Amino acid sequence: ITENGNTSPNNWGTTTDQVVGSGVDSGTGTVAGDTLGSTLLTDTIPTLAPGGSGTFTFKRTIK
């Protein structure tokens, strides 16, 4: 899962700042990009069973 704040239709990359440490995967995924100044966050999920679900959350503050 990739969230890019600078790629259309997103526009939050230039108007918000990453809250470092807020990137969380509810399962076994690995979150990358949860750093100061980041506008690109990626959650790499090794496997997801059919019918399975999970969440990838992160927080931003308005500039």
Q: What is the mean pLDDT of residues 9-29?
A: 97
Share of the chain above pLDDT 70, in %: 100
Confidence of residue 16 (pLDDT cuts 50, 70, 90): very high
Confidence of residue 2 (pLDDT cuts 50, 70, 90): very high
Q: What is the mean pLDDT of residues 13-25?
A: 98
CA–CA separation, 9 and 1 (whole Å): 16
What's this model's pTM, rounded to 2 decimal places? 0.87
pLDDT at 31: 98
Instruction: Give me the residues paired with residue 60 across strands.
Output: 18
Closest to 5 in 3D by CA, of 32, 46, 41: 41
